[in-house]
Amino acid sequence: VTEDGKPIVKIGYLPTTHAAPLYFMESETDYDIELVRFSSWIDLMDALNAGRIDGASVLIELAMKAKEKGIDIQAVALGHEDGNVVTVAPHIESVDDLIGESIAIPNRYSTHHVYVHQMLEQAGYSIDDVNLVEMAPAEMPSSLSENRVAAYVVAEPFGSIGVSLGVGKVLFQSQDIWPNSIDCALVMRTDFLQRDEEVSKHFVSNYAKAGLLAEHKDEHALTQINSFLKIKDDVLAQSLQWISYEDLTIREEAFDILREAMVDLQLSTNPPTYEDFVNNSYINEVQ
C-alpha cells in the first residue's frame, strides 16, 4: 500500500470509545495513516482477512478465530483496559433477576460473551440460564427500553448511551467481573508488519502514545474522540470514566483466561496460543 514511496497504513475501526487511541493518531514523515470506518465487526473482519486493510482495532476473539482459520495476523496492543458495563433494565437488582431473561451481546465472538459467562458463574449460574441474543449495538438501547431484553453488555459508548437515555442502569463494570480483561485489540496483518520493521515500530509506538493522549480525558481529548463518535459530550464523559488507555500491553495471564473461556463457550476448539498470536515486541519497546 504505497504511493510516492510513502506507505499508507490502513486501519479499520468501528466508532466506539474502545478504539479511542486511533482517533489521536496522525500521519508521520515515514507513513500516512488512513482510518477506515466500518459499521459492523463482520464487514471489518472481511476487509482485514482479505488484506484490504493492514490492521484494525477489533474484538480480539474475532481476530483469534481468523488466526485459527489460517489468516496471518497478530495482536500487537490492547484497545483499552476495562470500560465495559453490564447495562440492565431498571427493575433488575442482581444477577438472580436476570435468570431466564434475554441478554444482548454484540457478537458471539466477543469478550462481552465471556463477561456474561463469568458473571453468571460467579453468581452460581451457568450461561444456559439466560437467553443470549446477538444484535447490533445501536439496537440495544431500544430493545432494553421496550423490554425485549433485560440487559446488554457491549462496547462503549452504548452502555453510557443507555444510561443517559434513562432506559437502563449499570449493574456491573467489567473490572468487577474480570479485572484486567482483554477486549478490543490492535490486530495487524503479519505481512504488513514485516514489510518495514521501522515503520511498524514507529506506528505501534505512536499508537501507545495516542493512548496516553486519550487517557487525559480532558477537553481536548473529548473533542477529538467526539469528532469520530458524534454523541453527546456528557455521555462520552461518562463512558470515558469507565475506561483506561494507560497500559495497552496484552498480558499472558489474561489471554489464557480468555482462551479457556473461548473453549468453555465452544467458540473455538483450538484457539491460538499467546506465543503464536500476541506480539508484544513493539509495545514493549515503547515502555
d(CA 67, CA 246): 27
**195: helix, strand or coil:** helix
91 binds another protein (CB under 8 A): no
CB of 285 to another protein, least distance (A): 30
Cα distances (angstroms) measured from residue 156 to each of 118, 145, 215, 229, 236: 19, 18, 15, 11, 9
What number of chain residues touch another protein (CB under 8 A)?
A: 52
Closer residue to another protein in complex, CB, 109/203: 109
CB of 143 to another protein, least distance (A): 6
For another protein, the binding residue among 1, 71, 170, 199 (CB under 8 A) is 71
Partner residues linked to 134 by β-bridges: 105
Please identify, among the stretches 32-40, 78-86, 174-182, 188-196, the one whose residues bind another protein according to the rule CB under 8 A: 32-40
Handedness of CA 162, 163, 165, 168 (dihedral sign): positive
d(CA 62, CA 286): 26
122 binds another protein (CB under 8 A): no
For another protein, the binding residue among 8, 99, 123, 165 (CB under 8 A) is 165
135 binds another protein (CB under 8 A): yes
Partner residues linked to 185 by β-bridges: 58, 78
Closer residue to another protein in complex, CB, 91/230: 230
Set of cell numbers at residue 232: 453527546
Closer residue to another protein in complex, CB, 53/240: 53
- Give the residues lining the site for another protein (CB under 8 A): 12, 14-15, 36-43, 45-47, 49-50, 52-53, 62, 65-66, 69-71, 102, 104, 107-109, 132-139, 141-143, 145-146, 148-149, 158, 161, 165-167, 229-231
